[in-house]
């Protein structure tokens, strides 16, 4: 067991190196994606009948998403920190509740957020999923039962989806929650949690500028989307930070991050018309994300103002 990130002095040099590498790797990757067509017109790397793999589809889940993990490793090397407090321990007996919450809570909060959005804006709710059925027909070339597709998506989101998506989420969790968060704890736990969530959100900004998450034509574009996204990253980041600090390991948060990605899009299947994406029904919207925000507020309110992360290493 190793205690890290107590009320001691702020390791400004290591934080600076970490942010420089994390943003440098990921934003340089974003620049490559942008000059090669962006997320919308990215050229194919592999193209066969019925399948196309674009430059963006390759670089986004690899070089971009793993920038924070690279920063963790490079900063440790540059500053002679070594392998101390890697937060990669796996103690299921000690941390079972954190793994279970990481697995299941994202689905509950995300689907509840979609329900809140549709309750607030019922004109956008279509239980028949007609628009979704039309999209499926266009993709498959034949009519597909939308209810069956949603059922399969939901089962996947509660079973294998979190694990599969965790493979890609690890790059962010090993960096943001595994390194930056403990380094910021000398600021005070609440400030550290909020600050690391804001940094995580800003890190996404080049992608949002290229239409990731909100597209291009939303009200207030292009400035409102990046700002609204900060609410999402602080809210979800608080939950992920709680899982990390409570378990002393990045794995519960990695699983939860994968679960968020697995379940996030289900609410879109019930959309009729063109709702404002800054509001919902996805959890990245201000209304769709209300359950996440409410949980984050409670966690921050109850969070001890001081303390350290006891890792499982």
Average pLDDT for residues 39-66, to the nearest whole number?
A: 90
> What gap in Å lies between CA 253 and CA 101, rounded to an integer?
10
Average pLDDT for 80-104: 91
The pLDDT of 37-61, averaged and rounded, is: 89
Model pTM above 0.75: yes
Q: What per-residue confidence (pLDDT) applies to 103? A: 95
**pLDDT at residue 309, rounded to an integer:** 65
Banded pLDDT at 6 (limits 50, 70, 90): low
Tokens of 301: 């309110």
Give 42's DSSP letter.
P
Per-chain mean pLDDT for the chain: 92
Give the per-residue pLDDT at 109.
Answer: 97
Establish how many alpha carbons lie within 13 A of residue 64's alpha carbon, considering only the half-sphere containing its beta carbon: 21
Residue 76 to residue 5: CA distance in whole angstroms: 15
List b or e across 259-269, with b for residues whose CB sees 16 or more CB atoms inside 10 angstroms.
Answer: bbbbbbebbbb
Q: How far apart are the first and last CA of the chain?
A: 6
Q: What is the pLDDT of residue 263?
A: 94
Q: Examine the pLDDT at 184 and tell me if it is beyond 60.
A: yes
**Confidence (pLDDT) at 293:** 98
Q: With bands split at pLDDT 50, 70 and 90, how would you rate the model's confidence at 312?
A: low
Q: Is 8 left (phi over 0), alpha (psi -120 to 50) or beta?
A: beta
Q: What is the pLDDT of residues 113-171, one digit of tens each?
A: 999 999 999 999 999 999 998 888 887 667 788 899 999 999 999 999 999 999 999 99
Task: State how far the alpha carbon of 34 is from the alpha carbons of 80, 207, 223, in Å.
Answer: 35, 9, 18
- What pLDDT is attached to residue 57? 95
CA distance 289 to 299: 16
The burial class, CB within 10 Å (0-12 / 13-18 / 19+), for 181 is buried
pLDDT tens string 108-127 = 999 999 999 999 999 999 99
Name 310's bridge partners. 3
Helices assigned H by DSSP within 79-160? 92-120, 130-140, 146-158
């Amino acid at each position: 067991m190793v205690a890290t990130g107590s009320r001691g002095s702020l390791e400004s040099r290591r934080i600076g190196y970490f942010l420089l590498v994390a943003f440098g790797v990921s934003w340089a990757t974003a620049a490559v994606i942008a000059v090669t067509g962006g997320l919308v017109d990215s050229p194919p790397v592999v193209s066969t009948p019925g399948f196309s793999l674009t430059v963006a589809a390759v670089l986004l889940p690899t070089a971009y998403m793993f920038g924070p993990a690279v920063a963790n490793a490079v900063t440790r090397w540059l500053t002679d920190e070594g392998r101390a407090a890697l937060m990669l321990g796996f103690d299921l007996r000690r941390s079972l509740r954190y793994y279970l919450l990481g697995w299941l809570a994202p689905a509950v909060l995300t689907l509840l957020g979609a329900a809140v959005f549709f309750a607030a804006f019922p004109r956008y709710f279509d239980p028949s999923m007609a628009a979704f059925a039309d999209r499926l027909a266009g993709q498959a070339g034949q009519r597909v039962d939308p209810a069956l597709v949603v059922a399969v998506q939901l089962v996947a989101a509660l079973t294998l989806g979190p694990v599969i998506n965790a493979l890609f989420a690890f790059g962010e969790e090993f960096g943001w929650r595994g390194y930056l968060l403990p380094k910021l704890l000398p600021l005070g736990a609440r400030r550290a949690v909020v600050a690391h969530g804001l940094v995580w959100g800003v890190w996404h900004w080049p992608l949002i500028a290229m239409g990731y998450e909100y597209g291009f034509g939303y009200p207030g574009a292009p400035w409102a989307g990046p700002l609204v996204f900060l609410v999402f990253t602080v809210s979800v980041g608080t939950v992920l930070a709680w899982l990390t600090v409570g378990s002393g390991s990045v794995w519960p948060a990695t699983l939860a991050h994968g679960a968020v990605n697995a379940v996030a899009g289900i609410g879109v299947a019930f959309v009729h018309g063109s709702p404002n994406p800054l509001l919902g029904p996805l959890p990245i919207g201000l209304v769709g994300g209300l359950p996440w925000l409410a949980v984050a507020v409670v966690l921050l309110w109850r969070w001890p103002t001081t303390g350290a992360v006891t890792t499982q290493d």
